[in-house]
Amino acid sequence: MPPMFRLDPYAPCVHEPGGVYCAVEFTLVADEDNPLLTMIQEYSARRKMHFNHSRLHRGICVTNTCKDYLSQNTSADLRLVLEGCLNDTLWKEYKLKSKISSEVLCNDLDNKMDIDYGDIAVAVICLSILLLHVIGNLYDFCYVPNKDRKGNKLLLCFSIKRNWKKLVAPPACGPDTRLKRLKGFNGLRSLSIIIVIMEHSLLPFVVSSENSHNLEIKYYNIICHLFVDGTLLVQAFFLMSGCLLAYNLDLLAEKKNISWTMIPKGIILRWLRLTPTYALVLAVTTTWLRFAGSGPLWQSTVGVEVKDCRRDGWLNLIYLNNYIDESQCMPQTLVRDYFVKDPTFNHTYKRGHTNLASYIMGLGLGMLIYHLQKNDFSFERFKKYKYLYWATVPAVLIILPSGSFFYFYETEAPIILKAIFSGIAKPVFSSIICIIVLGMAFKFEDVYRGILEWNGWASPARVSYCTYILHMLFVRTLTGSRTTLMHVSIANVLLVCLGTVMMTYLVAYPFYLLVEAPSIALSKIILPAAKVKMDIENDPTKRERNHA
C-alpha cells in the first residue's frame, strides 16, 4: 500500500527562490477495477482500528517535485499541478490515480503575513500586564516591606511575591478545618490533568507517523486503550466540581441564608474568574500564534485553528463553543479535527448536558460528606472491608478501556448494546470515584489517601486550569512545526508525552503568577460581596469542566 504520510524536505524547499511547499490530502481512485485499491478499501473499512488508507496525506515541494507540471500549467493552478504530479507518481508505482479531496494549503517565504491592528492590540495588552507587574512588585518590595502596612490592593494584585505565597501555600489552609478532608482532590485533579495532557500529546503520531501500521496495532492492545479511551476520565472533573459546590454551599449555609439571587451572582463571579485567563490565551491564539512557526503541517494544524478562532472566538468567551459544531477554535480534545464532523462526538461527547450525570452524583456526594461529618459518622466498623475499597483503583483501570470491546467487535455492534454502554459507563465510573473520595474524606485507609493527599499536589492543582488551556497550544505548535514524520514506538511516545507535560507546566507556573492569580485577586475586589464564598471559588476543577 502507498504510505499514509509522506513529506518532502521542507526547509530547502521554502528557502530556495520562489519555493512553494504544499500540504494536500487526496483520495485514491482507479479508472477500472484495481485489486490493490479493493484491498485498501476493504482494509480501511474497519474504521475503528485502521486509518483510511485510501485517503493519503502528502507534503510536497511543488517547485521541485512537480516542476515539470508547474511549467506546463501556465495558469499556475496548484490544484491541477498537484493532481497531475501525484497521478504520475502513483501510476508509476501502484497503477492508481488521485483526486484531491481537501483545500490545498501552501507555504512560501514570499507570502508573508502582515501585522494587523488585532496583533498590535494584543501586544499592548500583554505589555501592559508586564508593566503592571513591574509597578506592583516595586510597590510591594519598596513601599510595603512592613507586613503591618496594607498598601494598595489593586497594585498588590500584581505582586509576584504574594501570588507565589498563594501558589505554594499548604492545601486547605482556610479557617474551616473540615475542608482538609477534601484535600485529596488536589492529587486527583493533578493526576487527571497530567493524563489528559499525555493523551492529547499523541496528536503528532496520528497526523504524521512514518509507520502508521504500528499505531494501528496498538488498538489491538487493551493496555493502550487506557490512554486512547480517555473520555471517561473527564468525568472526574465534573464529579469533583459538583462535590465541592454542594459541600461548600452547605458550609456557607451555616453562616448565611442561601437564596436564588446567589445564582446570577455566582455565574458572574465564575465568569470573572475563568474568562480573563482564557481570553488572553484566546487572544494570543487568534493573533500572534500564526507567527510562532512554520512547517509542512502548520496551516492544517495551526492555521485552521487561528482562522476558526477569529470567526468563532466570541462564542468561547460566553462558553457556548461546545454547542457549535465543526469549529476547531482552542480544541481541548484529542485530534478534534478528526472528529469535528462526527455526530457521536458532536452530540454525545462535547455537550455540557450529556455530562450532567457525573455532576449530579458529585452534588450528592458533597451533601453526603457534609451530613456524615456533621453527625460524626464513623467508618470504623466498615474497615474490615478495606480490601474491597482497594479494588476501586483496579476497577477504574478496567472500566477506562471498557469501550475497547466495541473496537474488537468483528462486526458493527448492535445499537442496543451501544446505547446500554453509553448510558451506564459514565455513572459506573463516577460511582467508583465517589467511593474513592468518600473513603479519602473519612480516612478509611492510608494507601490511596496518602498518595492523593500528598502536600506536593497542592501547587500543580492550583495551576491545573492554566495547564489545561495552554497545553494544546504546545501540542499544535510542535506538530505544525515538525518537518519530518514521527516514528511510532513506546520510547518516542513516552518522550513526547512527558516532554509536553513538562513544557506545559514550565509555562503554566509563570502564567499563573502573571495572569491567573492577579485576575482572581481583582475579581474579589470587583465583587467584594463574593468574599463570603471564597471557599466555593477555590475550586479549580470547575475551570476544566467549563472547557471539557
Q: How confident is the model at residue 457 (pLDDT cuts 50, 70, 90)?
A: very high
Taking CA atoms, 447 is separated from 57, 433, 452, 504, 524, in Å, by 49, 15, 9, 29, 38
Mean residue pLDDT of the chain comes to: 83
| Inside any domain, residue 422 | no
Mean pLDDT, residues 60-74: 78
Same domain, 154 and 186: no
**Which of 68-72, 176-180, 257-261 has maximum average pLDDT?**
257-261
| 143 three-state secondary structure | helix
- Sign of the CA dihedral running 43, 48, 51, 55: positive
Taking CA atoms, 347 is separated from 116, 289, 325, 353, in Å, by 37, 30, 9, 10
The Cα 249–Cα 366 span in angstroms is 9
pLDDT at 349: 58
pLDDT at 534: 44
pLDDT at 544: 47
The Cα 289–Cα 146 span in angstroms is 42
Mean pLDDT, residues 505-515: 96
Same domain, 229 and 279: yes
Q: What is the pLDDT of residues 186-215, one digit of tens each?
A: 999 999 999 889 888 888 888 888 888 888
| 56 three-state secondary structure | strand
> 138: which residues sit within 8 A by CB, 6+ positions away?
none
Same domain, 75 and 182: no
The Cα 430–Cα 355 span in angstroms is 11
Q: How confident is the model at residue 293 (pLDDT cuts 50, 70, 90)?
A: confident
**Which of 45-59, 237-251, 317-331, 378-392 has maximum average pLDDT?**
237-251
The domain in which residue 35 lies consists of 5-107
Over 50: is that where the pLDDT of 337 sits? no
| Inside any domain, residue 291 | yes
| Inside any domain, residue 431 | no
Q: Which amino acid is at 70?
A: L
The Cα 443–Cα 378 span in angstroms is 10
Same domain, 184 and 147: no
The Cα 22–Cα 59 span in angstroms is 6
Pairing of strands 21-29, 105-107: antiparallel
Same domain, 83 and 152: no
Mean pLDDT, residues 227-249: 85
pLDDT at 336: 43
Q: How confident is the model at residue 72 (pLDDT cuts 50, 70, 90)?
A: low
| Inside any domain, residue 242 | yes
**What is the DSSP-derived secondary structure letter of residue 235?**
H
Over 70: is that where the pLDDT of 340 sits? no
**Which of 9-13, 60-64, 354-358, 507-511 has maximum average pLDDT?**
507-511
Q: Which residue, 158, 191, 221, sits at the end of a domain?
A: 158
The Cα 538–Cα 464 span in angstroms is 12
The Cα 223–Cα 194 span in angstroms is 18
For residue 28, what are the β-bridge partners? Answer: 98
Contacts of 404-412 with C-beta under 8 Å, sequence gap 24+, read: 404/222, 404/225, 404/229, 406/48, 407/48, 407/49, 407/219, 407/225, 408/220
Q: What is the pLDDT of residues 243-289, one digit of tens each?
A: 999 998 888 888 888 888 888 888 888 888 889 999 999 999 999 99
Q: Spell out where 206-291 has E strands.
A: none
The answer to whether the beta carbons of residues 213 and 53 sit under 8 Å apart is no
Question: CA angle, corner 111, sides to 107 and 112, nearest 5?
Answer: 105
Same domain, 103 and 249: no
Please name the helix (run of DSSP H) or strand (run of DSSP E) that holds residue 29, with its range, or none.
strand 21-29
Over 70: is that where the pLDDT of 327 sits? no
The Cα 121–Cα 283 span in angstroms is 9
The Cα 33–Cα 441 span in angstroms is 66
| Inside any domain, residue 436 | no
Q: Provide the number of structural domains found in the chain.
A: 3
The residue length of the chain stands at 548
Please name the helix (run of DSSP H) or strand (run of DSSP E) that holds residue 44, with its range, or none.
helix 35-44
Same domain, 149 and 61: no
- Calculate the dihedral angle through the C-alpha atoms of 345, 346, 348, 350, rounding to the nearest 10 degrees: 90
Same domain, 58 and 121: no
In 3-state terms the chain splits into helix, strand, coil percentages (rounded to 5) of 65, 5, 30
pLDDT at 75: 52
Same domain, 227 and 136: no
Report pTM. 0.86
How many Å separate Cα 486 from the centre of its chain? 21
Over 80: is that where the pLDDT of 76 sits? no
Same domain, 259 and 356: yes
**Which of 257-261, 411-415, 489-493, 542-546 has maximum average pLDDT?**
489-493
pLDDT at 158: 92
Helix (H) and strand (E) counts for the chain? 30, 5
Contacts of 71-79 with C-beta under 8 Å, sequence gap 24+, read: 78/20, 78/22, 78/104, 78/106, 79/104
pLDDT at 418: 79
| Inside any domain, residue 166 | no
Phi-psi region of 311 (alpha: psi -120 to 50; beta: other; left: phi over 0): alpha
| Inside any domain, residue 74 | yes
pLDDT at 532: 44
Taking CA atoms, 254 is separated from 176, 182, 269, in Å, by 12, 19, 21
pLDDT at 517: 94
The Cα 314–Cα 278 span in angstroms is 12
Same domain, 148 and 197: no
The answer to whether the beta carbons of residues 472 and 280 sit under 8 Å apart is no
| Inside any domain, residue 410 | no
Backbone angles phi, psi at 25, to 5 degrees: -110, 135
pLDDT at 363: 93
Mean pLDDT, residues 56-64: 89
Same domain, 121 and 245: no
Q: Among 199-203, 349-353, 459-463, 504-508, which is the least confidently predicted range?
A: 349-353
